[in-house]
Chains A and B, each alone.
Chain A
Amino acid sequence: MVELLNPILWHSIVAAATFFVLPTLGEIYAERSGILNLGIEGMVIAGAAGSYAIAYQTQDILLGVLFGMFIGGLLATIHAILTITFNRNQVVSGIGLTILGTGLSGLLGDAVIGKALKGIDSTPIPILNDIPTIGEVFFDQNIFVYLSFILAPILWFILYKTRIGILIRSVGENPSASMNQGVNVRLIRYLCVIFGGMMAGLGGAYLSLGWLNFWTDGMTQGRGWIVIALVVVALWNPLGAFIGSYLFGMFDVLQFSFQHEAIPFIFPTGIPPSVLKMMPPVSTILFLAIWGIILSQQKVKSIVGAPSALAKPFED
């Protein structure tokens, strides 16, 4: 039987969850401002390839991470120009972004496929690291993981407790009313979408430099799409994103844990990996199905606060 209480297993769950936290936080800000960006997958994969390539060529990890964020922000800017300035269909533009990002990742990462690079070391946090089990699981990780611990509450605070947060939410809720109040709707939306792209690029940099430590074509395996589902599961709340990401991190890690577990009659020699790989997408679909039934009741929707103007064209 799989040792489910094994700290090593939980250590890798935290590592997997961090990948989901970073882009989800960014996408929450973009969607809160009213812009649906379906191009997460493209920005993440281009960020992963770009950051690994630059880090390999300059042997400077920090430069690589910054470049990954730059690529993510750049791609998001294209989406912002098309959807905010030119008012085009956000879904189609997002799909284009995913396709473009995938192509760009092939170009950026071509020279470094299979090249080994020492990624970011884990830096144990002194005192906290000594707590039995918890210290080992949470506080013996690398800097990205700590960043995700800090960013989730900070971004929650900004969104709900500051003036900027109110502006962002009002723009996503009712852009025309905000504009009449003198709010620069386009500027706020641009900043949120670009911030989302930079966070996706950061997530990509974490994927290739902080977590898996290699680059290969198509290495995200559709995880970017799970991020979009996660925003819904998180109810557009940065703290919810944190909880949701750990849930999905668990699915992501546990899929590899049952390869030698036989199920009588169906899989007598162990569950094949291709069947286990279905777990994250299938569980996401089930999640959305359950959530979809709950959320379609108007009352509940008003409580959770899905941005009303999300993906709606806005012309002034």
Chain B
Amino acid sequence: MKIANYELIFQKRTFSITGFRAIAYRILFVIFGLMTVGFIFLLNGINPLDLFFLSNRSMLRIILILLPHTFVSFIPLLCIAIGLAIPFKARIDNIGAEGQFIMGMLAATWTAMEFPDLPSIVLIPLMFLNGFILGAIWALPVVFFRAKGGFQGADVVVSFLMVFPALYLMQYLVSGPWRDPATGFAFSKILPESAQIPGIPIEIYVPFLDATWNFDPVHISIFLVLIIALVTYYYLFRTEEGIPKTKIGYEINVTGKNPLAGRMAGISFFKVILISMIISGGLAGIAGVAEIAGNKLRLTVNSAGYGFTAIVVAYLGGLNPIGIIFSALFFAALISGGTAINLTGLPVSALDMFSGIILFYVLLSEFFFRYTIKWRRS
């Protein structure tokens, strides 16, 4: 590419960047992303330095004060993003996790209302099981379109459009059959005591913030999702010298990198899609169950949109469960910091800009793993 007297050259690196340098590159590009968002805020007459760090109502301060809330959003983000990383790795673009998440919430509510007399130790696992099943069912159309569809993008569109039936089904149930007559709003009944996942009863007073961290809202599903992260890492993502250790992990990797070679080697494309989509939908469903039984305790007409943020979380985490733990923490913190944006008078949806721009920069950073840029006078 030529600009005036100078020429821009992309030069392929002899060795692509991996390991800690790759992480450093990602962090650098996230900082570029935050600077870009800051610039957009500046154009809107808001000082980004005040908004991010300096003022008394800065995002940083609010994130620290609301630390327990950060963990509350961390739970669904981590669970969905790990589920998404599996199909993404196989180049299956499941962007409908939001719908699968909602179906998980519906499954949890239905199970809890149907069997309120079961003891917790039976009921809660049953809710998780049903959430997994319903979430996985909601992901199945993507398998069909990916395997059968003769054109690019159909699977993406279908996975996204499946969000709407789920959302409207929830709206219908909440405003009709499942509505709690005791409130004037479109809410379902609060889940029975036996279906509620308990929180962590810890309170810490933090002197430098002059605030108390109350970890009671953080439900113990956090341990479940961390275990899920480690288990998926062990069985699907663990590598030795860059090659996945397990058979299925290897098959997923090959399907993503070179489907033709995979087919030649006898890897069933359909099997890989089916397995990765079932796990992906199921994990989103589990996140929905945890959210409803641990945090919200009743259905409402809308959902928090974790399914979309989780896409960015998965990519920022490098499609690897360990990286995703950190990127989920980062985005959970951004969500609690969103309160600060609200205090400046801007709508909370401005928070989406962070996700969008950071996703662009993460994509761009991957380019520099394999290429360098040089300017040359021509």
Contacts and interface: CB of A to CB of B under 8 A. Distances in A.
A258 interface: no
Given A275-B168, A292-B150, A92 B175 contact: no
Contacts of B355: 99-100, 103
Interface of B: 1, 40, 44, 93, 95, 141, 144-145, 148-154, 156-158, 160-165, 168-169, 171-172, 175-176, 308, 311-312, 315, 345-357, 359-360, 363-364, 366-367
Interface stretch (A59-67, A104-112, A197-205): A104-112
A296 B352 CA distance: 36
A87 B165 contact: no
Nearest to A222: B164
A75 to B, nearest CB: 10
Interface in A120-149: none
A229 interface: yes
Contact of B1 (A85, A292, A310): A85
B53 to A, nearest CB: 21
B145 A292 contact: yes
Contacts of B351: 103
Interface in A244-298: 272, 274-275, 277-278, 280-282, 284-285, 288-289, 292-293, 295-298
B360 A106 contact: no
Given A281-B165, A296-B149, A107 B350 contact: yes
Contacts of A191: none
A88 B367 CA distance: 7
Q: Is the interface of B mostly helix, strand, loop or mixed?
A: helix
A144 B377 CA distance: 48
Given A103-B352, A281-B165, A232 B172 contact: no
A95 B363 CA distance: 11
Interface residues of A, number: 57
Contact of B349 (A85, A217, A275, A295): A217
A50 to B, nearest CB: 13
A313 to B, nearest CB: 11
B168 A106 contact: no
A310 B158 CA distance: 18
A42 B353 CA distance: 11
A289 B95 CA distance: 18
Given A86-B367, A296-B148, A275 B172 contact: yes
A98 B93 CA distance: 15
A16 B141 CA distance: 28
Enumerate the 9 nearest inter-chain pairs by beta-carbon distance, A residue then B residue, closest first: A100-B356, A106-B349, A103-B352, A103-B353, A296-B150, A96-B359, A99-B356, A295-B150, A281-B164
Given A82-B363, A222-B161, A107 B151 contact: no
A183 interface: no
Contacts of B40: 104, 107
A38 B359 CA distance: 14
A86 B364 contact: yes
A110 B367 CA distance: 35
Of B144, B176, B349, most A-chain CB atoms within 10 Å = B349
A105 B161 contact: no
Of B149, B151, B154, most A-chain CB atoms within 10 Å = B151
A99 B350 contact: no
B8 to A, nearest CB: 9
Contact of B154 (A97, A98, A232): A232
A104 B357 CA distance: 11
A46 to B, nearest CB: 10
A100 B361 CA distance: 12
B363 A306 contact: no
A288 B145 contact: yes
A228 interface: yes
A101 interface: yes
Given A106-B350, A284-B161, A88 B359 contact: no
B360 A93 contact: yes
Interface in A199-242: 217-218, 222, 225-226, 228-229, 232
A189 to B, nearest CB: 13
A219 to B, nearest CB: 12
Contact of B150 (A105, A278, A301): A301
B172 A274 contact: yes
B141 A285 contact: yes
Nearest to A108: B44
B356 A292 contact: no
Contact of B175 (A93, A95, A274): A274
B150 A110 contact: no
B51 to A, nearest CB: 13
B30 to A, nearest CB: 14
B360 A100 contact: yes
B347 A106 contact: yes
A36 interface: yes
A236 to B, nearest CB: 9
Of A218, A222, A228, A281, most B-chain CB atoms within 10 Å = A281
30 contacts: A38-B153, A85-B1, A88-B364, A89-B363, A91-B93, A91-B156, A99-B311, A100-B356, A103-B350, A103-B354, A104-B356, A106-B349, A106-B350, A107-B40, A107-B350, A107-B353, A110-B345, A110-B347, A110-B350, A218-B349, A222-B161, A232-B151, A232-B157, A275-B168, A278-B165, A288-B154, A288-B157, A292-B145, A295-B150, A301-B150
Nearest to A267: B176
B151 A289 contact: no
Nearest to B147: A296
A21 to B, nearest CB: 18
A96 B356 contact: yes
Of B161, B308, B351, B367, most A-chain CB atoms within 10 Å = B161
A100 B352 CA distance: 6
A274 B154 contact: no
A20 B68 CA distance: 44
B149 A295 contact: yes
B346 A110 contact: yes
Given A91-B93, A298-B150, 16 more contacts: A38-B153, A82-B360, A86-B367, A93-B360, A99-B312, A99-B352, A100-B360, A107-B346, A225-B160, A275-B172, A280-B164, A282-B161, A288-B154, A292-B145, A292-B151, A310-B151
